[in-house]
Chain A
Amino acid sequence: MAELTYRDAVARGIAQEMERDNDVVFLGEDIGKAGGVFKATVGLYEKFGPLRVRDTPISEQAILGAAMGAAMTGLKPIAEIMFSDFFAVCFDYIANEFPKSRYMTNGQVKCPLVVRTGNGAGSRFGAQHSQSIENWAMMIPGLKVVAPSTPLDVIGLMAAAVRDPDPVIFFEHKSLYATKGEVPDGEIVDTLGTAKIVRPGKDATILALALMVPRALEAAERLKAEHGIDVEVIDLRSLVPLDTQTVLASVARTHRLFTVEENPRLCGWGAELVSIVADEAFYDLDGPPVRITTPHIPLPAADILEDLALPNAERIADRVRRSLEG
């Protein structure tokens, strides 16, 4: 058991899989000699060498295209897109190419690859380097989508993603890189499509993802301490496959549903979950489901504005309390 940062967990997760399987290769901008712009891949180049850890030019289409070509012919590439906002310059591969190739070819082509990317706000980088874009990936049939919130989950879900036979988008939250957590020694392998109840409770269910998980947990502690409200917090961890059974079972116990989403409001993942619960567990609910999201705006750079935009513990707690009291 050791305490590890989320940042170091990325390198450990990749190293675990590269040690296990020589077909796992890693490519991206500044990932090798420089150790990554977020220092999340330090040591991999030295450990695995330039043939397996390859620095690329600033060519996002070439990075994802090459990852796909390598995946469909037998390698298991991990590709880094430095900021998830850059998905927009290589979206053809994410939307049209690797998720559809298996279906279009009636199962002939396989694309076992992982695209890992720095997602989310908190770094005061402004509207093009701060977005939370899980829904861009979630809407595409053929992709799997994960977003871990702890160092342990980073390693376990990375292993699951690399070993998965389908293309997986792996969202790392930039504001979580410095956070720490306990991680056991030895190999860690998790399962895609499994949500985790990170705080049991009986009065309401809060669904959260990535950076919103610690914020929802903080809100839960406040609600308990200040108002005696006992909420259950679920870390979804994986949007595709989506563990709806854990969510539906929780709502059946608590009878209230809240989502906490970092994405701008329209078409956020919470909308899909609210729709599922409304459709399948309507009579379990004692009140309307509530989505707590970033407003539908581009993100500002100034810290006081960015902080105002994202859901925080205070806002989450306040919204839950008003709903339950109302």
Chain B
Amino acid sequence: MARKPAAMDDAAQRNSPNDDIGEALRLKLYRMQVELREAEQRAFDLFLQNLVKGTSHLSLGQEAIAAGFGVAMKPGDLSFCTYRGHAHTLARGVPVEKVLGELMQRDNGLMRGKGGSMHLTSVEHGVMGSYAIIGAHLPIACGAAWRAQYKGDKDVSVCFFGDGTTNIGAFHEALNFAVVWKLPVVFVCENNLYMEYTPIGDVTAVEHPAADRASAYGLPRIVIDGNDADEVYRAAMKAFEIARAGNGPSLIECMTYRHSGHSRADPAKYRPEGELEKWKERDPIKIYRERLKQFGVGDDVIEKINAEVMQVVNDATEACKAAPMPSLDILTTDVYADGGWAWRN
């Protein structure tokens, strides 16, 4: 198992009165994390009712990363997510209903059921896709960053991936490429300690699968507490500043833990006893609620946010249940740019 970063135990730092983030942003970060948690928890519940079909990969317990980056990103910045991408999609402001609708394969889903859980995309929100082939989207994010560089735009491409991705070739090709071309791209490794069912440490030559490879590409070694949304937010802002200034890519390894299995088929029995419980003590939402209290936010404010989020998720659920299935005529639409699928005359 990977070592905990020093900052994780640094209560003094967390309790620092120095509030560089501010209350408005903190409440936003909290609300976002709660929304990601409740929406995904709802997705899980809907599985059990057989209303969500196919597969699904939850990031329960990892919300601080998607929330921290999502809140730090500006309109125009682009997100590239993985098949575990519900949270990162929601974190760009995509309505819960559009995501749950896609998971429930309804006509109101983001892609009207043509993509499914693993391919959530909302171009209008800057979510340029969720990619289900490990590592594929790292070079794609480089290409989007190349466009920004070529056009002189200041937007940043942010590419989220898991620890398992660091052992596939595309990871290494993309890092080298991004550094050589000095691209405005931020690579975010969510190290949840497991590549699917296997501990990442069992199959990786270095302790920190992303950060320990950074020096091979001339990048600084950055490991942060991925369960602390403030830390994530700060790391994101720093990386964005570098990218927007034309100083190239960053690679950030966020230490975290997923509360559920790899996918809905996985009960996660491979985890040592007590590990999950230990990490649940460091639940990002629990940490953040304490943080809010330290900064003087009252329980009533916190409960109000919780209730509002729950209302959003409940409303979305009902809307999706009432939504029709996709119309059958979309089976053959949008294969080609003419809107159809014709390959011959």
CB distance from B216 to the nearest CB of A (A): 14
Determine, out of A59-67, A116-124, A307-315, the stretch whose residues face the partner at the interface.
Answer: A59-67
Q: A103–B338 Cα gap in the complex (Å)? A: 12
Contact with B along A218-230 (1 / 0, CB 8 A): 0000000000000
Task: Given A106-B112, A245-B345, verify A61-B169 contact (CB < 8 Å).
Answer: yes
Q: Which residue of B lies closest to A111 (CB)?
A: B337
Q: A61–B172 Cα gap in the complex (Å)? A: 10
A240, B343: Cβ atoms closer than 8 Å: yes
Give chain A interface residues in 153-177, CB to chain B under 8 Å. Answer: 164-166
Residue A97 is within 8 A (CB to CB) of chain B in the complex? yes
Q: A51–B110 Cα gap in the complex (Å)? A: 35
A102, B150: Cβ atoms closer than 8 Å: no
Task: Given A103-B114, A141-B343, verify A69-B142 contact (CB < 8 Å).
Answer: yes
For the residues of A in contact with B, the DSSP-based class is: mixed
Chain B residue numbers with a CB within 8 Å of A57 are 173, 176-177, 180
CB distance from A104 to the nearest CB of B (A): 4
Chain A residue numbers with a CB within 8 Å of B131 are 97
Cβ contact of A25, chosen from B142, B150, B157, B343, cutoff 8 A? B150
Chain A: interface residue total (CB-CB under 8 A): 51
Contact with A along B166-200 (1 / 0, CB 8 A): 00011001101100110000000000000000000
Q: A62–B110 Cα gap in the complex (Å)? A: 28
Contact with A along B243-267 (1 / 0, CB 8 A): 0000000000000000000000000
Chain A residue numbers with a CB within 8 Å of B110 are 106
Q: A18–B17 Cα gap in the complex (Å)? A: 56
Chain A residue numbers with a CB within 8 Å of B140 are 65-66, 68-69, 72, 97
Residue B136 is within 8 A (CB to CB) of chain A in the complex? yes
Chain B residue numbers with a CB within 8 Å of A25 are 150
CB distance from A295 to the nearest CB of B (A): 28
Residue A210 is within 8 A (CB to CB) of chain B in the complex? no
Q: A67–B129 Cα gap in the complex (Å)? A: 15
B334, A69: Cβ atoms closer than 8 Å: no
Contact with B along A238-251 (1 / 0, CB 8 A): 00111111000000
Q: A196–B334 Cα gap in the complex (Å)? A: 28
Q: A70-B147, A73-B148, A104-B119 provided; 17 other pairs, C-beta below 8 A? A: A59-B177, A61-B169, A61-B174, A62-B142, A65-B142, A66-B140, A68-B140, A69-B128, A69-B140, A72-B140, A97-B140, A105-B119, A105-B129, A106-B114, A108-B122, A109-B128, A242-B345
CB-defined A-B contacts under 8 Å, sample of 26: A56-B177, A57-B176, A61-B170, A66-B177, A69-B139, A70-B143, A70-B147, A71-B143, A72-B129, A74-B147, A74-B151, A102-B334, A104-B114, A104-B115, A104-B121, A105-B115, A106-B111, A106-B330, A107-B333, A141-B341, A144-B336, A166-B336, A241-B342, A242-B343, A242-B344, A243-B345
- B residues at A contact (CB < 8 Å): 78, 110-112, 114-115, 119, 121-123, 128-129, 131, 133, 136-148, 150-151, 157, 169-170, 173-174, 176-177, 180-181, 330, 333-337, 339, 341-345
Q: Which 10 A-B pairs have the closest CB atoms?
A: A69-B143, A65-B139, A165-B337, A66-B143, A59-B173, A107-B334, A69-B144, A62-B173, A69-B140, A106-B111
